[in-house]
């Protein structure tokens, strides 16, 4: 069963989700949705109480809820309650919120857009570019970011071919690559930029993105040549790919006299762009 993980935005709120190719369904993180609808800072507690309430009322909804390991704010993967669109419509009825109706419309739109993208993949690329541009990113940066997504996909396809498991093993290998080229683990890198739930790549400069792409693309090529058979061998190759980009980073820093890995976030780059306009 092929699954594609994604982050969907509802009124700038991030909702973790994945697309199941076999069932042709979106599944969404219930905790993320509860947080958006209730605006509570304890969505897990709210959902736990709601599940208990639904069970007492004889509802079978909570019994049909599945789980999937999803990446949390700390970069680790934890089992998370998920629901498909039909289950979500029923769940939303149990949550008093002024956002309930617009949220239902949003879910329907997300489902429709995915079908459109399957029929014409270019639609998905165009929508992603439009989303970044609306946030204020430059067209040059967006083109770079879209390229980085393609490079990342090539790498994960290669990992799939080598038997690397999605989730924790992906995270470990990504960490190896990131440490080797930047000198920081993914968690350290995010802390360095003051990020929490935000996507690290969305907060990189053009140069940071390029070096990250170089690290991942190099890892992919080495893996294709070496054909690793164990996770340990994949880990060694991940470090090798990252190290090549890391050496390039050091050369750039030596010539420019400043660090490539900086503390600037997306909002900082956007503010700088506005000041220059």
Residue identified by tokens 């089992």 is 79
One domain, residues 178 and 263 = yes
Do 90 and 206 lie in a common domain?
no
Model-level pTM? 0.58
Residues 137 and 167 in one domain: yes
Q: 212 Cβ partners below 8 Å, 6+ apart?
A: 148, 178, 181, 182, 201, 204, 245
Does the pLDDT at position 116 exceed 60? no
Q: Are residues 264 and 132 in the same domain?
A: yes
pLDDT for 174 equals 95
pLDDT at 76: 78
pLDDT reading at 273 higher than 70: no
Pick from 5-9, 46-50, 88-92, 143-147: least confident? 5-9
Q: Are residues 101 and 163 in the same domain?
A: no
Same domain flag for 136 and 256: yes
User: What local confidence, expressed as pLDDT, does residue 66 receive?
Assistant: 82
pLDDT of amino acid 138: 81
What is the per-residue pLDDT for 152? Answer: 93
- Select the more confidently predicted residue: 125 or 210: 210
Residues in the chain: 277
Domain boundary among 97, 119, 141: 119
Q: Which range is most confident: 134-148, 182-196, 228-242?
A: 228-242
Handedness of CA 34, 87, 5, 122 (dihedral sign): negative
In this structure, the answer to whether residues 222 and 98 fall within a common structural domain is no
Domain match, 179 and 96 both? no
Query: Residue 74's pLDDT is what?
Result: 74
What is the pLDDT at residue 261?
Answer: 95
Pick from 67, 92, 119: which residue ends a domain? 119
Tell me the Cα Rg of the chain.
Answer: 20
- 155 in the same domain as 98: no
What domain range includes position 167? Answer: 127-276
Least Cα distance to 131 among 158, 155, 156, 113 occurs for 113
Residues 131 and 268 in one domain: yes
The answer on 90 and 43 residing in a single domain is yes
As for how many domains the chain has, the answer is: 2
User: Does the structure show a pLDDT above 90 at 246?
Assistant: yes
Examine the domain organization and report whether 71 and 13 are in the same domain.
Answer: yes
Highest mean pLDDT among 27-41, 45-59, 102-116, 145-159: 145-159
Q: Which two tokens stand for residue 119?
A: 């029929």
pLDDT exceeds 60 at position 161: yes
For the chain, what is the mean pLDDT?
83
pLDDT digits (tens, 9 = 90+) for 56-92: 877 767 667 788 888 877 777 888 888 887 888 888 8
Q: How confident is the model at residue 259 (pLDDT cuts 50, 70, 90)?
A: very high
For residue 125, what are the CA distances in angstroms to 118, 131, 142, 150? Answer: 12, 10, 11, 11
Q: Given 119, 144, 173, which residue is the final one in a domain?
A: 119
């Amino acid at each position: 069963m092929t699954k594609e993980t994604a982050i969907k935005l509802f009124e700038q709120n991030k909702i973790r989700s994945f697309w199941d190719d076999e069932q042709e369904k979106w599944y969404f993180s219930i905790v993320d949705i509860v947080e958006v609808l209730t605006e509570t800072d304890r969505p897990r507690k709210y959902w736990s109480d709601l599940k208990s309430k639904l069970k007492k009322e004889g509802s079978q909804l909570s019994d049909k809820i599945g789980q999937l390991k999803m990446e949390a704010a700390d970069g680790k993967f934890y089992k998370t309650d998920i629901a498909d669109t039909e289950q979500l419509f029923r769940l939303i009825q149990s949550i008093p919120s002024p956002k309930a109706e617009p949220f239902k419309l949003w879910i329907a739109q997300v489902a429709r857009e995915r079908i459109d993208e399957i029929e014409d993949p270019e639609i998905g690329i165009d929508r992603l570019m439009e989303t970044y541009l609306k946030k204020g990113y430059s067209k040059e940066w967006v083109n770079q970011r879209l390229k980085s997504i393609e490079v990342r996909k090539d790498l994960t396809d290669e990992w799939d071919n080598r038997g690397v498991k999605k989730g924790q093993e992906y995270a470990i290998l990504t960490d190896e690559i990131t440490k080797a080229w930047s000198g920081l683990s993914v968690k350290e890198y995010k802390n360095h930029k003051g990020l929490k739930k935000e996507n690290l790549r969305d907060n990189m400069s053009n140069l940071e993105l390029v070096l990250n792409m170089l690290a991942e693309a190099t890892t992919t090529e080495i893996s294709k040549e070496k054909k690793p058979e164990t996770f340990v061998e994949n880990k060694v190759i991940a470090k090798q790919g990252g190290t090549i980009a890391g050496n390039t980073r050091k050369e750039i820093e030596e010539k420019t006299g400043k660090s490539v890995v900086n503390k600037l976030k997306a909002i900082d780059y956007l503010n700088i762009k506005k000041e220059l306009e």
